A and B are shown apart, each in its own frame.
Chain A
């Protein structure tokens, strides 16, 4: 099956700085890569996703990049704010399957 690795496991940044979280995947057939944000005591919420037919997608301060050749994708958060503090998960899935495979999470702390 698919194996998704996520780094770093913890990340602290100053407010206003950028944060980058990286994930690698093993199954070249994976073609959908969502990112989830999980706040304390809540379920994960989708913040952005990318499909394998594009290399980059942006939504305000959040962007995701995908390198299919190297099998890695990254989440970029610019101008970080304290409310960005949360645990972020990457995931991968394939169109011909029904399962999602998640990374182990990154705990992001934005220091005011």
Chain B
């Protein structure tokens, strides 16, 4: 298995609070991605990074921000969590981006009350 960890694995929080999810990789891959998974929607891209300090938005980026200060870490922040952000969040990594294999982490289940 690719060396990807996500923390925390489960989190329950209240509406309006900030939340940060962490993705850590040991593969030295250039590309890192954050997805959310919801029933009936599959996996939807939130943000991705193509290098340290280089990030771009995905299709569902509103309400989320990201940061990547080191190759191995990619952080996803919900500045003010809402109930619509209750979801399972997956981090993925890829060496070469668009046409290269993606490896997924184990996921973080976030519940916003």
Residues of A within 8 A of B (CB): 1, 6, 31-32, 34, 36, 41-46, 49, 51, 89, 91, 93-105
Docked complex Cα distance between A103 and B43 (Å): 8
Tell me the smallest distance from the CB of B78 to a CB of chain A, in Å: 20
Docked complex Cα distance between A93 and B90 (Å): 18
Q: Is B8 an interface residue (CB 8 A)?
A: no
Q: Which residues of B contact A49 (CB under 8 A)?
A: 101
How many chain B residues touch the partner (CB < 8 A)?
Answer: 27
CB within 8 Å for A44 and B90 given contacts A95-B99, A98-B97, A102-B42: yes
Task: Kindly report which residue of chain B lies nearest to residue A52, judged by CB atoms.
Answer: B99
Docked complex Cα distance between A45 and B92 (Å): 10
A-B CB contact pairs (8 Å), 9 listed: A34-B101, A43-B90, A94-B99, A95-B99, A97-B98, A98-B97, A99-B98, A100-B98, A102-B42
Q: Which residues of B contact A101 (CB under 8 A)?
A: 45
Q: Which residues of B contact A102 (CB under 8 A)?
A: 35, 42-44
CB within 8 Å for A104 and B42 given contacts A51-B99, A98-B56, A98-B98: yes
Tell me the smallest distance from the CB of B105 to a CB of chain A, in Å: 5
Q: Which residues of A contact B104 (CB under 8 A)?
A: 36, 43-45
Residues of B within 8 A of A (CB): 4, 31, 33, 35, 40-45, 48, 50, 56, 58-59, 90, 92, 97-99, 101-107
Q: Which residues of A contact B106 (CB under 8 A)?
A: 42-43
Q: Which residues of A contact B99 (CB under 8 A)?
A: 31-32, 51, 93-95
A43 and B105 contact, CB distance less than 8 A:
yes
Q: Which residues of B contact A97 (CB under 8 A)?
A: 97-98
A93 and B43 contact, CB distance less than 8 A:
no
Task: Kindly report which residue of chain B lies nearest to residue A33, judged by CB atoms.
Answer: B99
Q: Which residues of A contact B98 (CB under 8 A)?
A: 32, 93-100
Further 13 A-B residue pairs, CB within 8 A, beyond A89-B42, A98-B48, A105-B42: A1-B59, A6-B42, A31-B99, A36-B104, A44-B90, A46-B101, A94-B98, A97-B97, A98-B31, A99-B98, A100-B45, A102-B35, A102-B42
